Structure 1
Amino acid sequence: MQGNRFFCSFSLLILLLAVAFGHGRAHGGGGFVTTNGTGFVMNGRPFYSNGFNAYWLMYMASDPAGRSKVSSAFQQASSHGMKVVRTWAFSDGGHKALQCSPGSYDENMFQGLDFVISEARKYGVYLILSLVNNHEDFGGKRQYVRWARDEGRSTGSDDDFFQNDVVKSFYKNHVKTILTRNNTMTGMAYRDDPTIFAWELINEPRCQSDLSGRILQDWITEMAAYVKSIDSRHLLEVGAEGFYGDSIFGRKQFNPGGCEVGTDFIANNQIPEIDFATIHAYPDQCCKEFNIQQSVMMTCTQHVFRSNNICYIQSSTEQWMTAKCHAVCAQPPQGLSPEHCEQIQIIITYINSLYTVLTPLVSKPIVKPTCGCINI
């Protein structure tokens, strides 16, 4: 969902810890994290993921004066038992760009990302790094198409990002540049760094010029294979919001407003190189008065839990619901605005509703979650 994102965390990014689709691994500090049935495993033991979304980390860390805020976020996250943080590994064109033009990078911005990874490692936090934006914020697919047009290539809509060979070559070059980057602070290539939990192909992909979903399905298939050809050790996910497509009859009724965006939650996550699924939920924006039983988020979660003879439902769901849910607020210590307080209350209501609905899906009691804020 485009619109207001309340800085970093109120998108309420949900990782489906019960993974029904892939099987991969990420090299963590204690060994490789693998997907096994419905959960993550490290060294033969369940690995439970909980955390938050903070797109701004590289942007903030590119200025040495702002790095203390990044350190504070990781320190507080670690102290609250949070293990995974999702952030951007892109900023394409425009102000404070990482990639100024195709293949041309700003070293100061890159060293900001180096710092983010180094600090996450210091505090025992894993990172999900997103590689491009579907939306125009921080460049996105629109900037890629514009770059191709500036080179005299024939392009139409922003959705040419998924089909134009030149644009796809720009994206592949960015992927390779990120994955093979040698961190100036750790001396380790990103693709070899256990701090990185997973790569994300694109933030919230949509291809509304093809509602059948075939174009985006082909793009995910191609790019997932490309990422794995460079780095087979880290996990990989799409970055999709969770909209249903045509792969399962009747499921599109659960999409918010009956919306179709050219994605297919089931088919997109059945691609062999995709290791786990994600859902993006924005209850502060679209769910002020919602029926949690009818929401796409709940439907997707139940679908994952109940399909394919899943056998590890209870452990991953159970731990996810025992973790405290914290909202990371880039707000001054003196407090939050009334609007932000209202949004926090909506999030709390939403989480409590999830607790109510998910409890019958597991065989052991779930500890009711609590909510709070981390001020940085």
Structure 2
Amino acid sequence: MSGKRVFTSQILKYFIVIVLLVLQGNFGSLACSSFVRTEGTHFVLNGKSLYLKGFNAYWMMYMASDPSTRAKVSTAFQQASENGMNVARTWAFSDGGFRPLQSSSGLYNEDVFSTVLTRKNSITKMLYKDDPFIFVWELINEPHCQTDPSGRFIQEWVTEMAAYVKSIDENHLLEIGLEGFYGKTTKQMYNPGNLLVGTDFISNNQLPQADFATIIHLYPEQWLAGSNDEVQAAFVDKWNEAHIEDSKSVLNKPLILGEFGKSSKLAGYSLERRDHYFSKLYNAIYTNARSGGPFVGGIFWQRRAQGMDNFRDGYEVVLEDSHSTARVIALQSHLLSILP
């Protein structure tokens, strides 16, 4: 959900943008002993299928870096676990501003976060690359390269970076971080407004190092601005169906819905509409997963702790203040947890 940017090949090879963390509370000792793997279109942990139900919280590294605000991270994990969630997606970087990892293009502050893959956890003393509580590394969030709609530049970058990460860390899964846009193929028709951003859901995810179909994002109220609910709902259905089919028939990899939400800053917003939207997407995930399909999880944007008004973007979900939304999330977590 970050602002779009044109990037260059000068990005450092160790610069991993987003990680997913498996929450201990909903796995107990299981997650301590093994790493998540993929088998066809499913995730597997200790021989059992794993379904993802979780949240985005890009602010966690920032808040954890200050002892005075660190408790908000622990509280967010605890509350997520209490509502049945088992995964969190967070950034491992910050650009510019206060306490940045990247203060300007190509200039990194090693004191903030020296590396990711080889960093040692200061509490457990375990290297990140050896830690089974880390579920997956994501290369980059929502890459766009408008100057190369052919997709060649991003494909070359992803190929190089994915191989580099895997050369250091063979334990963890890896995914790219695309929104799900198709390239210059017959599938382009599924993009909102036939938009081309320099990525391709198919070719990018066919890389052998991409362990699952990269997290798709879904913001019809932004992508189809000015359209009504019926048009947006129809787009959502077609978007999901196209990616589910391609993940199953072309890629043979799991598929995750990695960002979705409703903004309180846009006209027509209500808590009821947000709950309905969450329920619609959760039902699509559950129905497909129950039938053995590749759509095996969803991660809403975004979870925010209380007392963090400066992190409001309109999409925030404060569980303590949104009991109906919390119930929708908890129900989905329960339904996925009882699948075989």
CA distance in 1, matches of 2:131, 2:156: 29
CA deviation after TM superposition for structure 1 residue 257, in Å: 1.6
Give the alignment partner of residue 51 of structure 1, picking from 42, 45, 54: 54
CA distance in 1, matches of 2:125, 2:267: 40
| Structure 1, gaps ≥5 residues long | 5-14, 16-26, 111-173, 330-335
3-state SS in 1 of match to 2:78: helix
CA distance in 1, matches of 2:251, 2:202: 16
CA deviation after TM superposition for structure 1 residue 56, in Å: 0.3
Give the alignment partner of residue 280 of structure 1, picking from 209, 217, 222: 217
Partner of 2:42: 39
Q: Does 1:349 align with 2:276?
A: yes
Give the alignment partner of residue 257 of structure 1, picking from 184, 193, 196: 193
CA distance in 1, matches of 2:218, 2:250: 24
CA distance in 1, matches of 2:155, 2:41: 23
Partner of 2:207: 271
Query: Within 5 A, what are the aligned runs for 1:176-187?
Result: 177-187=115-125
CA distance in 2, matches of 1:83, 1:284: 28
Query: Within 5 A, what are the aligned runs for 1:7-156?
Result: 28-100=31-103, 104-105=108-109, 107=111, 109-110=112-113
- Aligned partner of 2:172: which letter? H
Partner of 2:139: 201
Inter-CA distance 284–308: structure 2 relative to 1 (3 Å threshold) = closer
For residues 313-372 of structure 1, the C-alpha deviation after alignment (integer angstroms, 9 at most, x for no partner) is 9xx99xx9xxxx998x9xxxxxx97869926544433334446666488649xxxx9x98
Inter-CA distance 340–193: structure 2 relative to 1 (3 Å threshold) = farther
Asked if the contact 1:236–1:276 (Cα under 8 Å) also holds between the matched residues in 2, the reply is yes
CA distance in 1, matches of 2:72, 2:191: 37
Asked if the contact 1:34–1:41 (Cα under 8 Å) also holds between the matched residues in 2, the reply is yes
CA distance in 2, matches of 1:2, 1:55: 9
Asked if the contact 2:221–2:232 (Cα under 8 Å) also holds between the matched residues in 1, the reply is no
CA distance in 2, matches of 1:214, 1:104: 27
Single out whichever of 92-101 and 267-276 deviates more from structure 2: 92-101
CA distance in 1, matches of 2:219, 2:31: 30
Partner of 1:221: 159
CA distance in 1, matches of 2:161, 2:125: 27
CA deviation after TM superposition for structure 1 residue 274, in Å: 0.5
- Alpha carbon RMSD of aligned pairs, Å? 3.8
- Aligned partner of 1:82: which letter? M
CA deviation after TM superposition for structure 1 residue 302, in Å: 2.8
CA distance in 1, matches of 2:245, 2:36: 24
Asked if the contact 2:202–2:246 (Cα under 8 Å) also holds between the matched residues in 1, the reply is no
CA distance in 2, matches of 1:362, 1:293: 22
- Aligned partner of 1:105: which letter? N
Q: Does 1:303 align with 2:232?
A: no
Asked if the contact 2:202–2:251 (Cα under 8 Å) also holds between the matched residues in 1, the reply is no
Inter-CA distance 73–362: structure 2 relative to 1 (3 Å threshold) = closer
Count of residues paired in the alignment? 267
Partner of 2:325: none
Single out whichever of 53-62 and 296-305 deviates more from structure 2: 296-305
Inter-CA distance 103–192: structure 2 relative to 1 (3 Å threshold) = farther
3-state SS in 2 of match to 1:66: coil
| Aligned residues with identical type, % of pairs | 48
CA deviation after TM superposition for structure 1 residue 44, in Å: 1.0
Asked if the contact 1:217–1:263 (Cα under 8 Å) also holds between the matched residues in 2, the reply is yes
Asked if the contact 2:142–2:177 (Cα under 8 Å) also holds between the matched residues in 1, the reply is yes
CA distance in 1, matches of 2:207, 2:124: 33
Inter-CA distance 60–361: structure 2 relative to 1 (3 Å threshold) = closer
TM normalised by structure 1 equals 0.61
CA distance in 1, matches of 2:77, 2:289: 32
Give the alignment partner of residue 238 of structure 1, picking from 150, 162, 176: 176
Q: Does 1:374 align with 2:319?
A: yes
Inter-CA distance 32–340: structure 2 relative to 1 (3 Å threshold) = farther
3-state SS in 1 of match to 2:137: strand
Inter-CA distance 213–65: structure 2 relative to 1 (3 Å threshold) = same
- Aligned partner of 1:282: which letter? Y
- Aligned partner of 2:167: which letter? S
Give the alignment partner of residue 294 of structure 1, picking from 212, 229, 235: 235
CA deviation after TM superposition for structure 1 residue 99, in Å: 4.0
Inter-CA distance 252–181: structure 2 relative to 1 (3 Å threshold) = same
TM normalised by structure 2 equals 0.67
CA distance in 1, matches of 2:203, 2:76: 35
CA distance in 1, matches of 2:216, 2:129: 25
CA distance in 2, matches of 1:267, 1:345: 38
| Structure 2, gaps ≥5 residues long | 5-19, 21-29, 293-297, 301-316, 322-340
For residues 268-313 of structure 1, the C-alpha deviation after alignment (integer angstroms, 9 at most, x for no partner) is 0000100112101124534662343434631443323541496x99
CA distance in 2, matches of 1:84, 1:225: 25
- Aligned partner of 2:245: which letter? H
